[in-house]
Chain A
Amino acid sequence: MNEEVITKTKDVALVEVLDRVLDKGAIVAGDIVISVADIDLVYIGLRVMLSSVETMEKLRGAPMPGGTEEST
């Protein structure tokens, strides 16, 4: 699953588009309304797609990785 991270040939990162198209924009009471919960679902989906064990480890340590050993 971690392998097939989104094929991104376009110049604008997906997150930039998602951040706007899903989250902002004029809102009217259309006939079919997407709830906030559904949008959260997308972000959760993204998380599952994008986070590998490695990045999760890094995240846990960030921004201050514990003990500052001889990190040269």
Chain B
Amino acid sequence: MGLSKISNGVNMQVEEKELIYLYCVTKVKPNYRNLEDLGIKIYPIYFQGTYAIVSKVSPDEFNEENLKKNFADINWVENKVRQHEKVIEAIMQDATVIPFKFGTVFQTEENAEKLLREQSAEFKRIIANLNGKQEWGLKIYCDFKKFKDMLHKEDTKIKEIEKEIASASKGKAYFLRKKKDEFIKDIINEEVSKYTQDCFEKLKRISVDVKINKILSKEVTEKKEDMVLNAAFLINTKRIKEFNNAVEYLKSRYSDNGLIFNCTGPWPTYNFCSFGEKKE
């Protein structure tokens, strides 16, 4: 790899050695045309039918210490995370990939190759499994205000309480309002979970595999609505259209209830390529 070992072991010099960043593993040699616009040199490390798609990165950014520091800089993170995604998407155009988690970094090419050597069979098995499939993501948000407004119009029990409030004393009205809010909250929670369950089940039937992920807070999503479902679906390519049609159907069915659908894909199969975590 062109970098001679520093025999006197001076720390500074060792630190300066470039690191190897792993994006994904495939069974197909990458098509360099797809990688031209990325602005970084991506290249494969080969071992017996598997390719590790890597690039060299600077220890100034990616050694353990600096990585930690850089994580505090959201602009740095955004940049690198998007780049990670872009590289994998470019490779995905011609190949089934195993996308790796952000920040999988090796000290040397030899170490990256060692991974291929040790896991080659497992990688091939996973790739065979993912072949001809796509990952799609669905996040459902709920506009609770819209939901609430609808309930106000339709629910008779709420109307009753409201009538009571109108004629109650100030103090009593306060408690009645609280009671009403509790009541509404319960209905909403129940209904929303019923609806999201229905959506999930319908889409699950079309999928090969599914995964429910954790709900992200509003600070992270930047949306004014609350996230109520965060799911990933692994779908046979032949059924993508069916899947998207189902999403459209659910959208129209539940939009009056304040549900907002955010369906994205195809993604690298981040959610469907876990394998035996092997500690060395």
Contacts and interface: CB of A to CB of B under 8 A. Distances in A.
B273 A19 contact: no
Contact of A28 (B115, B148, B217): B115
A56 to B, nearest CB: 8
A50 to B, nearest CB: 6
A64 B184 contact: yes
Interface stretch (B35-43, B94-102, B242-250): B94-102
Interface string B216-234: 1111111010100010000
Contacts of A27: 100-101, 104, 274, 277
Interface residues of B, number: 69
B180 A68 contact: yes
Contact of A24 (B78, B81, B101, B278): B101
Interface of B: 19, 22, 25, 62-64, 67-68, 71-75, 77-78, 81-82, 84-85, 98-108, 111, 115, 119, 126, 137, 139, 142, 144, 148, 174, 177, 180-181, 184-185, 188, 213, 216-222, 224, 226, 230, 264, 267-268, 270-271, 273-275, 277-280
7 contacts: A21-B84, A26-B98, A28-B278, A31-B111, A34-B103, A50-B222, A59-B219
